[in-house]
């Protein structure tokens, strides 16, 4: 294979990967727990941008349940973001694993 052609392909893949990472970072993912009583929103780069708690979920006698719902919603939002990022990067990289990109 022509080395020059291979380098151009690598550079294109790098540009595409960088663009995809920017797209992913701008995406938002929402997840809920407790039948929608708690909702968490995360960005594609793993930042939690919001948590909404239905007032009916606030029971002073059962704070632990509310904590569990918040944890579940946050984890699901982050998992969704991670799966979308991995799927997008795999599509660009053709399944290649390059340290630091995935």
Supply the range of the domain harboring residue 87.
19-93
Query: What is the domain-level CATH number for residue 44?
Result: 3.30.1310.10
User: Quick check: 44 and 81 in contact, CB under 8 A?
Assistant: yes
The answer to whether residue 69 is domain-embedded is yes
Number of structural domains the chain divides into: 1
The answer to whether residue 83 is domain-embedded is yes
Each residue's pLDDT expressed in tens, for the chain with a length of 102 residues: 688 888 888 898 889 888 988 999 999 999 999 999 999 999 999 999 999 999 999 999 999 999 999 999 999 999 999 999 888 888 887 766 655 544
The answer to whether residue 3 is domain-embedded is no
The answer to whether residue 98 is domain-embedded is no
Instruction: List, for residues 48-73, the tens digit of each pLDDT value.
Output: 999 999 999 999 999 999 999 999 99
Predicted model pTM:
0.76
The answer to whether residue 81 is domain-embedded is yes
The answer to whether residue 4 is domain-embedded is no
């Amino acid at each position: 294979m022509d080395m020059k052609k291979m380098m151009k392909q690598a550079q294109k893949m790098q540009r595409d990967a960088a663009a995809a990472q920017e797209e992913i970072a701008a995406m938002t993912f929402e997840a809920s727990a407790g039948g929608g009583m708690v909702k968490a929103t995360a960005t594609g780069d793993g930042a939690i941008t919001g948590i909404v708690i239905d007032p009916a979920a606030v029971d002073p006698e059962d704070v632990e349940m509310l904590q569990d719902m918040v944890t579940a919603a946050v984890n699901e939002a982050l998992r969704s973001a991670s799966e979308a990022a991995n799927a997008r990067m795999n599509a660009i990289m053709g399944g290649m694993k390059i340290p630091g990109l995935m």
